[in-house]
Amino acid sequence: MSQERVPAIPVSFEGVRRAGGGRRRYWKSLDELADTPAFLEFLHREFPEQASMFGDPKGRREFMTLMGASLALAGLTACTKQPEETILPYVRQPEQLVPGRPLYFATATGHDGYARGILVESHEGRPTKVEGNPDHPASLGGSDVFGQAHVLGLCDPDRSKAVLYLGQQRTWGDFRAALREPLRKQQAKGGSGLRFLTGRNTSPTLAALMRGLLADFPSAKWASWEPASRDNARAGAVLAFGEPVEPQYRFDRADVILSLEADFVSGHPASLRLVREFAARRKPTGEKPQMNRAYVVEGSPSSSGASADHRLALRSSEIEGFARALAAELGVAVRGGVAHDWVAPVARDLKRAGSRALVIVGESQPPAVHAIGHAINEALGAASSTVSYTAPAESAPGVEAKSLAALVAEMRQGTVELLVILGSNPMYAAPADLEIAAALDEVPFRVHHGLANDETAARCHWHLPASHPLESWGDLRAADGTASIVQPLIAPLYHTLSDLELLAAFREGEQKGHAIVRAHWAGELGGDFETRWNRALHDGVVAGTAFEVKAARVKLGAWANAPLKPEPDGGLEIAFRTDPCVFDGRFANLGWLQELPKPLTKITWDNVALVSPRTAAELGGVAVEQTASGHVTDLAELSLGGRSVVAPLWVLPGHADGAVTVHLGYGRSRAGRVGSGVGFNAYALRTSDAPWASGGLRVRKTGGRARIACTQDHWTIEATPHEQAAERHLVRAVTLAEFAKDPHAIQKLGHEPQPGLSMFPPFEYKGHAWGMTVDMSSCVGCNACVTACQAENNIPVVGKDQVGRGREMQWIRVDRYYEGPPESPETYHQPVLCMHCEKAPCEVVCPVAATVHSEEGLNDMVYNRCVGTRYCSNNCPYKVRRFNFFLYQDWETPSFKILRNPEVTVRSRGVMEKCTYCVQRISRARIDAKNQGRDMRDGDVVTACEAACPAQAIVFGDVNDPESRVSKLKAGERNYGLLTELQTKPRTTYLGAVRNPNPEISGTPGEKRHHG
Amino acid sequence: MAQVFPRAANDFARASLIVGGLVAASVLGTLVFVFPRSSYVTRQKEARAQPVPFYHLHHVGGMGIDCRYCHTSVDKSAVAGIPPTKTCMNCHSEIFKESPTLEPVRASWREGTSIEWVKVHDLPDFVYFNHSAHVNKGVGCTSCHGPVDKMAFVWQEQSLLMEWCLECHRAPERQLRPKSEVYSVQWQPPSNQLELGRKLMLAYDVRPQVTCSTCHR
């Protein structure tokens, strides 16, 4: 694989070179760089395929016929009366419930086992929306895409609804009767054939129940295992400290952060808090601007790498050498380093920061790198400053992979007679080398308890439907130990039991979840239980349950000298990553998440094999063709250790060379109507000894082609040729040094239009005037705003085919821009929503006044007036309007009816829609304030996107109030608008990105610009 | 062959064309402008039968029960609230407890099933009306709901067309009354209503919006 022979990049990137000379050029896709005809098509016509239909004479005639008919029918609809409706009041109205007013309850979601505090909005008993819980240490008020989709999980129509025996419907009574005999047999032999398998568990009550069960059945065993393994981190802590401690990071105290493949934006139990703390230090203001600095060394581009000041693309296996060299440079007695240009400057920077520096290591790195990370932190004095150590939150902190492997070995030997699987799906996600299917078949009595009739359920004798966490009582710990009570928002929709109720039934017969959890905490909380219990339910956290900080000293061991694992010769390296949208596959049936463009690739409804431009060239080029109905790319067979899958290839700028990244969570066979058969199953290549990365991968193009729905070129703001694009300055970024030298550096990148050029008289705003700022400096591109908006505003899911045609409906899109060469670009995220222009181009072209200016400066969309001409959308320079080409919304499925936000109209076919600035929240706040006889205050209106944002990058408020946060930000030095030269006067403005590169590292943005 | 029609038939034919056109135009006009506003479509003033013969005439007019005894959330929420069966049973577990007309109420109480009341004031689903915003600003119940104390079965007093909403949003002084009188069914606008209304507009800071998103979202 000599790198001299192949061209550096697969297509022509003249554009990059042309745009040199000190001016930065931002691009969204390789197609844009290469100016392919398909890209230009998307640029000029919002919906390429639809627009070309009228050229065809037959289509035109057909259109006239249909129009005639629909006009006649539309006229007749005026003659109908509304159908008679009934009102069903309560028989006994619950206390505190005021009909028409939502209530909020604090509870927690378990993500990968660890608690994230949430507040759930409940409309007359129906949970409709999730917000972060500001009082919870792992949320601080922010939320993520998984938290936002929690309510959709409850309403998933494919949830399991009944007890099944060999696929036949049975009752809970039947199951109990069937269990009696095998359980009695186990009692006789102390449970030597009884095994439990759960996911990672942090629930104190479940752990206590399990302890009780294991006391009753002393020879029984409990395995807990999670596909997103944290074994490396635990093993690394054991290497360094002799015990499996959990590092607790404090990004708010860290001036310099080095991440060794740690995706702190989305791949850490405390991600939401880390993002909050990280982002808070990336919002420099004009006076004495200060920022933290982040280095990310990683193989597969992640949101963390995209947010960093410096990102170094190294293959996963190369990072250990880098870490060892860095540790040695910092005076830690570690050998085996591999020299790299970055080692010296990064080490100097870390040393300068001293105790205000921090090294964080990702789960995908081997234990030795974790140990080295701990050693570096200790050498820097970071321990007890930016990082402290506590006990881990899991109730069974063992090596999960070993625990599962041991269980499978026992199953194969035939010693397991009664297997109970709780909320785990090993048939789909277990390492391929375990060959779990055959092992499972050896167990004579298999029980699966879970939310869905999934792959594992199909392989078990009994499948028991589980209650959703929004339907059941429970408890969870956050990674720092803080416990939360999980309380139900609604009674179980179907005949289901929670895992606690099921386990309790093994011992003491039927018990309600509430009684089980209460009884456990009555023992824990002790005196004045009632008050403390109610407080815990109200706050969403049990006070005083965070773990105490442990004193931990690093002991250098053999790992410090251990030789590097020799790289398997030949082939490429494969990296396995959880998917940023469907995680490990458990969310595969949630349409919101399937249709969410992935933060960096902007692919929806699929996973792909990601390669760098250079590796793509080495594979003989990856031909990605952009058509009007989506991208078409090459299929390749990935073979590793005798196993293979076929996957679409995709070129991702910034990927490490010589490596392929695949995301887990796809290729499910029994996910449900949404997720089954979507993508390819990367678990088929994953083995227990190499869960995150492995060498020796062979890639062979099959000659087949696959269609991919990728949104990266959709809604591109028109600005060609590229010289003009540079003039338009949609993305503005400077370095901290430039910003410090000239606080107006960002504003000087564009030219503000002269005021008073408009022919229309200005609007007057006597009361409020709403506006928003989006901070590109702190946005990490996590997509939480997109999903929050989807949940709040009843936005439909349209499916892969429609997304491919550029018809996705999300009101917010996060445009991902690259700058620099495709091998190692910088990445910027720009969430784009309706700008609510003062002089909105859409308003003046609507023939039926369905989009009009409100008294408070909102650009109102009146669905009941809209006749679907789409003139507004054609005239919107920001391309933020979305059109219901078909009846996208599911009006039939009963479980979705309880999910809708009753404050927002559910739109039908033929209607235009777009961001409303959450006008329903503005109305509620306005009426509440008026009812209290006061004016609205800053912060009364929090839009769904603003509330969800863990980075607090979105700020909404009244621009007529000079004291509001948004007014102050808009008056700041970083504020700029998009396309302001068009005189649209957008109300949504952006705060330019500031990056803080280390001048000692070559290739930094500042360097590049100065040396041209 | 003799002429069948006299010469005058020509004028008659021409006139009939004009008259016919006028008739067609007026029929069309009626269809477009009058019919949608007619009570046939709006169901204005049409008393609706209910599963229980609950008479506001008796409870409000006769006994003088305050609106808020049953419609508890009217000053707090978008919806005024239809009372739970519990509210009925507060009294009817003591009085008329054997009455056959109240059997549906007792059945609801016994079995825990809701009484299915027929919705009289039924706005389209894309309209978001808020009761609290109105009653807290001096718009009385009877201004929209009419003489409820005189209704046996309730009917819809007003057309509930958007033009009717806007009439008041553009000139609220015509409908405002002192906050103390909001729930009064006896209140009649005084002769100086416009003057009083303007005074109340200032006192209560009444600035109704006429923006689309005020009600449509």
> What ipTM did this prediction achieve?
0.89
Count interface pairs A-B at CB distance under 8 A: 130
CB atoms A89 and B82 under 8 Å = yes
* Residue of B30, B70, B77, B213 to mutate for A, most A C-beta atoms under 10 A: B213
Q: How many Cα atoms within 13 Å fall on the side-chain side of residue A155? A: 22
- Distance from the B78 Cα atom to the nearest Cα atom in chain A, whole angstroms: 6
Q: What pLDDT is recorded for position A52?
A: 43
Can you read off the two tokens belonging to residue A472?
A: 């059941």
Give the separation between CA A719 and CA B144, rounded to whole angstroms: 54
Q: What pLDDT is recorded for position A537?
A: 94
A188 touches chain B (CB under 8 A): no
Q: What pLDDT is recorded for position A17?
A: 40
A-chain residue closest to B121, CA distance: A85
CB atoms B84 and A854 under 8 Å = no
* Residue of A836, A923, A924 to mutate for B, most B C-beta atoms under 10 A: A923
Q: What residues pair up with A421 in beta bridges, in sequence order?
A: A197, A448
pTM of this prediction?
A: 0.91
A-chain residue closest to B116, CA distance: A88
Q: Please state the domain extents for chain B.
A: 8-37, 56-82+120-215, 83-116
CB atoms B211 and A858 under 8 Å = yes
Residue A979, helix vs strand vs coil: coil
Helix (H) or strand (E) holding A465: strand A462-465
- Distance from the A926 Cα atom to the nearest Cα atom in chain B, whole angstroms: 9
| Displacement of CA A785 from its chain's centroid (Å) | 10
Amino acid (1-letter code) at residue A864: N
Q: Give me the sheet containing A988-991, strands edge to edge.
A: A954-958, A770-775, A988-991, A975-976
CB atoms B118 and A84 under 8 Å = yes
Burial class (CB in 10 A: 0-12, 13-18, 19+), B92: middle
- Distance from the A649 Cα atom to the nearest Cα atom in chain B, whole angstroms: 43
In residues, how long is chain A? Answer: 1012
CB atoms A92 and B78 under 8 Å = no
Helix (H) or strand (E) holding A913: strand A912-913
In contact, A682 and A664? CB cutoff 8 Å:
yes
Domains A246-390 and A722-995 share a fold: no
What region, left, alpha or beta, does residue A867 occupy, with left being phi > 0 and alpha being psi -120 to 50 degrees? Answer: alpha
CB atoms B84 and A931 under 8 Å = no
CB atoms B108 and A98 under 8 Å = no
**Close Cβ partners of A9 (under 8 Å, ≥ 6 residues apart):** A613, A614, A617, A821, A822, A823
CB atoms A905 and B126 under 8 Å = yes
**Close Cβ partners of A299 (under 8 Å, ≥ 6 residues apart):** A261, A313, A314, A315, A316, A318, A319, A573, A575, A655, A656, A659, A661, A693
Nearest to B114 among A91, A98, A919 (CB): A91
* H helices, E strands: number in chain B: 11, 1
In contact, A649 and A727? CB cutoff 8 Å:
no
Quick one: CATH architecture of A246-390?
A: 3-Layer(aba) Sandwich (3.40)
Q: What pLDDT is recorded for position A720?
A: 46
Q: What pLDDT is recorded for position A6?
A: 33
Quick one: CATH architecture of A566-710?
A: Beta Barrel (2.40)
Vertex A569: Cα angle to A563 and A570 (nearest 5): 155
Residues of A in contact with B122 (CB under 8 A): 82, 84-85
- Per residue in B19-48, pLDDT (tens digit) is 999 999 999 988 888 888 888 888 899 999
In contact, A302 and A285? CB cutoff 8 Å:
no
Can you read off the two tokens belonging to residue A96?
A: 């505190």
Nearest to A903 among B109, B128, B132 (CB): B128
Residue A275: closest CA among A720, A784, A724, A751:
A784
**Close Cβ partners of A14 (under 8 Å, ≥ 6 residues apart):** none
In contact, A436 and A405? CB cutoff 8 Å:
no
- Start-to-end CA distance of chain B, whole Å, equals 73
Residues of A in contact with B76 (CB under 8 A): 98, 101, 931
Residues of B in contact with A919 (CB under 8 A): 213, 217
Q: What residues pair up with A247 in beta bridges, in sequence order?
A: A389
In contact, A986 and A837? CB cutoff 8 Å:
yes
In contact, A584 and A334? CB cutoff 8 Å:
no
Q: What pLDDT is recorded for position A729?
A: 80
In contact, B151 and B120? CB cutoff 8 Å:
no
CB atoms B119 and A855 under 8 Å = no
Helix (H) or strand (E) holding A305: helix A303-307
Residues of B in contact with A764 (CB under 8 A): none
Q: What residues pair up with A126 in beta bridges, in sequence order?
A: A123
Q: What residues pair up with A861 in beta bridges, in sequence order?
A: A851
Q: What pLDDT is recorded for position A12?
A: 40
Q: What residues pair up with A611 in beta bridges, in sequence order?
A: A651
In contact, A661 and A694? CB cutoff 8 Å:
no
CB atoms A90 and B114 under 8 Å = yes
Give the separation between CA B68 and CA A985, rounded to whole angstroms: 47
Burial class (CB in 10 A: 0-12, 13-18, 19+), A749: middle
Can you read off the two tokens belonging to residue A461?
A: 């004798």
Residues of B in contact with A854 (CB under 8 A): 209, 211-214
- Distances in Å between the Cα of A227 and the Cα atoms of A66, A400, A496, A682, A904 are 53, 9, 25, 12, 38
Residues 59-78 on A with a CB inside 8 Å of B are 78
Cis omega before residue A721 (within 30°)?
yes
Residues of B in contact with A897 (CB under 8 A): none
A-chain residue closest to B109, CA distance: A91
Residue A628, helix vs strand vs coil: coil
Give the separation between CA A878 and CA A869, rounded to whole angstroms: 18
Residues of A in contact with B119 (CB under 8 A): 84-87
Give the separation between CA A662 and CA A681, rounded to whole angstroms: 9
- pLDDT band for position B1 (cuts 50, 70, 90): low
Amino acid (1-letter code) at residue A542: V
Q: What pLDDT is recorded for position A13?
A: 43
Report chain A's mean pLDDT, rounded to a whole number. Answer: 87
- Distance from the A861 Cα atom to the nearest Cα atom in chain B, whole angstroms: 7
Nearest to A86 among B78, B116, B216 (CB): B116
What region, left, alpha or beta, does residue A416 occupy, with left being phi > 0 and alpha being psi -120 to 50 degrees? Answer: beta
Q: How many CB atoms lie within 10 A of CB B121?
A: 15
Q: What pLDDT is recorded for position A84?
A: 87
A528 touches chain B (CB under 8 A): no
Q: Please state the domain extents for chain A.
A: 246-390, 566-710, 722-995
Quick one: CATH architecture of A722-995?
A: 2-Layer Sandwich (3.30)
CB atoms A931 and B114 under 8 Å = no
In contact, A167 and A142? CB cutoff 8 Å:
no
In contact, A137 and A539? CB cutoff 8 Å:
no
Residue in the structure block whose two tokens are 């001096």: B138
In contact, A154 and A163? CB cutoff 8 Å:
no
CB atoms A90 and B205 under 8 Å = no
**Close Cβ partners of A650 (under 8 Å, ≥ 6 residues apart):** A601, A603, A608, A609, A610, A611, A622, A624, A633, A708
Nearest to A99 among B43, B79, B125 (CB): B79
CB atoms A93 and B84 under 8 Å = yes
Q: How many CB atoms lie within 10 A of CB A968?
A: 17
Vertex A194: Cα angle to A192 and A199 (nearest 5): 130
Q: What pLDDT is recorded for position A939?
A: 92
Q: What pLDDT is recorded for position A823?
A: 86
Give the separation between CA A396 and CA A231, rounded to whole angstroms: 12
Give the separation between CA B185 and CA B190, rounded to whole angstroms: 14
* Residue of A76, A79, A85, A86 to mutate for B, most B C-beta atoms under 10 A: A86
Q: What pLDDT is recorded for position A981?
A: 82
- Distance from the B112 Cα atom to the nearest Cα atom in chain A, whole angstroms: 6
Q: What pLDDT is recorded for position A1006?
A: 39
C-alpha dihedral, A649 to A652 to A655 to A659, nearest 10°: 0
- Distance from the A981 Cα atom to the nearest Cα atom in chain B, whole angstroms: 28
Q: What pLDDT is recorded for position A397?
A: 63
In contact, A266 and A782? CB cutoff 8 Å:
yes
CB atoms B130 and A905 under 8 Å = no
Below-50 pLDDT ranges, chain A:
1-21, 51-55, 720-723, 725, 1004-1012
Give the separation between CA A429 and CA A452, rounded to whole angstroms: 15
**Close Cβ partners of A114 (under 8 Å, ≥ 6 residues apart):** A138, A200, A202, A269, A270, A393, A476, A477, A478, A479
B-chain residue closest to A94, CA distance: B84
A96 touches chain B (CB under 8 A): no
Q: What pLDDT is recorded for position A9?
A: 40
Residues of B in contact with A930 (CB under 8 A): 133, 136-137, 205
What are the phi and psi torsion angles at A116 (to 5°)? -125, 120
Residues of B in contact with A904 (CB under 8 A): 217
Nearest to A89 among B32, B41, B83 (CB): B83
Give the separation between CA A841 and CA A756, rounded to whole angstroms: 16
Vertex A496: Cα angle to A481 and A437 (nearest 5): 80
Strand A126-132, strand A310-313: pairing: unpaired
Amino acid (1-letter code) at residue A467: S
Residues of B in contact with A767 (CB under 8 A): 207
In contact, A792 and A592? CB cutoff 8 Å:
no
Give the separation between CA B88 and CA B3, rounded to whole angstroms: 82
Residue A491: closest CA among A514, A510, A507:
A514
A923 touches chain B (CB under 8 A): yes
Q: What pLDDT is recorded for position B120?
A: 93
Q: What pLDDT is recorded for position A285?
A: 87
Nearest to A88 among B112, B116, B132 (CB): B116
Residue B74, helix vs strand vs coil: coil
Q: How many CB atoms lie within 10 A of CB A900?
A: 18
* Residue of B212, B215, B216 to mutate for A, most A C-beta atoms under 10 A: B212
Residues of B in contact with A96 (CB under 8 A): none
- Per residue in B110-146, pLDDT (tens digit) is 999 999 999 999 999 999 999 999 999 999 999 999 9
Nearest to A87 among B86, B113, B119 (CB): B119
